[in-house]
Amino acid sequence: MKLLTAAQIREADAFTVQEQNISSLDLMERAAKAFTGWFENKFQPSEEAFIFCGPGNNGGDGLAVARLLHERKYKVQVFIVGDTAKASEDFKANMERLPDEVQPQKIEEEKDIPELPLIACVIDALFGTGLSRPLTGLYEELVEQLNSSGACITSIDMPSGLYTDSQTPEGSTIIQADNTVSFQLPKQAFFLPQHEEYVGEWHVVPIGLSEQFISGVDTDMFFTTRRDVQHLLKRRRKFSHKGNYGHALMLCGGYGKMGAAVLAARACLRSGVGLLTIQVPSAGYTVLQTAVPEAMTLTDPNRKHLSDLPEDIDKYDVIGMGPGIGTAPPTKTAIGQLLATSSHPLVIDADAINIIASSDRLKEQLPKNKVIFTPHPKEFERLVGKAKNDYERLQRLREFCQEHQCCVTLKGSHTAVGTPSGKVYFNTTGNSGMATGGTGDVLTGIITALVGQQYDLEEACILGVYVHGLAGDLALRTVGEIGMTASDLIDHLPKAFMCLQQPMS
Ligand SMILES: NC(=O)C1=CN([C@@H]2O[C@H](COP(=O)(O)OP(=O)(O)OC[C@H]3O[C@@H](n4cnc5c(N)ncnc54)[C@H](O)[C@@H]3O)[C@@H](O)[C@H]2O)[C@H](O)CC1
Ligand SMILES: [K+]
């Protein structure tokens, strides 16, 4: 699904009003109803709502929500900040519609900011996608007081003070929402780790924006939904055999890190690959044969680290490498040799990334349209350099992918997949239980298996990160976040793939 900029959202708004022959006030009413529906599920009428409205349409939403909540027997108190004479037309219309029992109070100076009860339920309708500069003056003061009040804050559409699609200037004051309920589509800012404390949990409510507009609009930012990946999933044919699903080679493991090889191999096998051969340093032979009997095991001449490539390397459909291999000089030489000679698609993780990152010569040797990197943020930084903020990091991601015509899955809470054409796809599955050693090795195994099955690089990344997170979400239901291990993800991979095979209701 597409992610739109604030300007595109405004266009979608205008297009929808025309297409559906409704007024912008009708659209605001839809938005307010959608928000109120979410709110009713979350909070009881006994919880008094303190609604803070700015002078634009976000504030207009707040006023409409106040009316709807009042009709549903919630106690509401409305506060208005800003010059109402200059307020938007739909704001003014919703002021008119407020029932007599809901009389808004104006905040014109600091002393008008109310003292909130210890446990207060705040609705933040100060600014949404129309924010065009950092908060100052009374707005800033109010937001600071709300943030330090301990209230449970729900933001309408955007946390006030946060830019929708670009870097908010350093030091700006921004609402720290517990929940953000956004209209129709999540906003780009929600996917960036640096915004976690402002956005809180985000939720999306539909408001019927024009499908025609959204499908026609040009964007290079996407988020992946179940619908998006379901149609990527290839069917297995009735008369197929293991030769139809690819023969993967994995170069993984090192002394004390054979577990990484086991995890990557087991995940690869649980992701539909036809055949898997894994090469490990010779000390790992028994471990691999015992822990992963389905894989064929080759041993490196070196006992402790990778130092050589298999002889008949051309017969494989994909090579996955990196988990547990270390950065010993013979390992670097072997990786260099592989890059110089191989015509395979390559899935490159962990120390294989670090080895390439440390050498401009190796970076230059990267074959075009053949490589997937699966770095965590630190490995990514080694590969492309330090970024000042998440937006700069995303820009580096696009540039690197375009320069080397490769895919990169930049791992995180919303893993970002960069593609050779400069697009970015944010993943939407997964949970914090997955922040534990070995889950990256599992992802390498999954993506290697998918490339082996002839998914193109972009599809393998998007589907791979989605199913990896989905396995984590399924594991969450049985083992919870704290006790989750990488092996739990592997155990839940079959269910995750089964889930994707079910038609959506
Ligand atoms: N299509 C939709 O999703 C719909 C969204 N709705 C809601 O409308 C807002 C966007 O409304 P808009 O009037 O464009 O902007 P804001 O309310 O965010 O801002 C108002 C106004 O304030 C000025 N301004 C900007 N920054 C500052 C600042 N730092 N200090 C003071 N003033 C500032 C600027 O001139 C803005 O125009 C969207 O988020 C939704 O909540 C509709 O209700 C339904 C359709
Ligand atoms: K808001």
> With a threshold of 0.95, does the pTM exceed it?
yes
User: Is 223 a domain residue?
Assistant: no
CA–CA distance, 469 with 472 (Å, rounded to integer) = 5
Tell me whether residue 222 is in a domain: no
> Which strands form 275-281's sheet, in the order they lie side by side?
221-223, 424-426, 416-418, 407-410, 371-373, 346-348, 318-321, 247-251, 275-281, 296-300
Q: What is the CATH number of the domain that holds 150?
A: 3.40.50.10260
The fraction of the chain above a pLDDT of 90, given in percent, is 95
Q: Are residues 148 and 292 in the same domain?
A: no
Reported as a single tens digit per residue, the pLDDT across 315-354 is 999 999 999 999 999 999 999 999 999 899 999 999 999 9
pLDDT at residue number 179: 98
Q: Which ligand is nearest to the CA of 163?
A: 1
Say which residues have a Cβ less than 8 Å from residue 285's Cβ, sequence separation at least 6: 297, 299
At residue 243, the pLDDT reads 82
User: Are residues 234 and 174 part of one domain?
Assistant: no
Same domain? For 180 and 254 the reply is no
* Residues spanned by the domain of 406: 228-501
pLDDT at 139 over 90: yes
Q: Is 135 in the pocket of ligand 1 (CB under 6 A)?
A: yes
Closest atom of ligand 1 to 16 CA is 1
Same domain, 195 and 239: no
Is the minimum distance from the CB of 139 to ligand 1 under 6 angstroms?
yes
Q: Of the residues 186, 216, 246, which one is the last residue of a structural domain?
A: 216
pLDDT in tens, 96-116: 999 999 999 999 999 999 999
Residue to probe by mutation, ligand 1, list 26, 27, 57, most atoms within 8 Å of CB: 57
10 CA: nearest ligand 1 atom: 1
pLDDT category at 240 given cuts 50, 70, 90 is confident
Q: Which ligand has the shortest distance to the CA of 122? A: 2
Residue 61 CB less than 6 A away from ligand 1 = yes
CA distances from 8 to 12, 51, 57, 210 (A): 6, 27, 16, 12
Q: C-alpha dihedral over 20, 24, 29, 33, to 10 degrees?
A: 60
Do residues 49 and 85 both lie within one domain? yes
Pair (151, 63) in one structural domain: yes
Residue 17 lies in a domain: yes
- Which residues belong to the annotated binding site for K(+)? 58, 124, 160
Q: Are residues 25 and 103 in the same domain?
A: yes
Does residue 440 fall inside a structural domain? yes
Total domain count, the chain: 2
- 234 with 207, same domain? no
Tell me the CA–centroid distance for residue 128 and ligand 1, in Å. Answer: 5
Residues 240 and 209 in one domain: no
**Is residue 250 within 8 Å of 321, Cβ to Cβ?**
yes
Whether 199 has a pLDDT exceeding 90, the answer reads yes
pLDDT band, residue 239 (cuts 50/70/90): confident
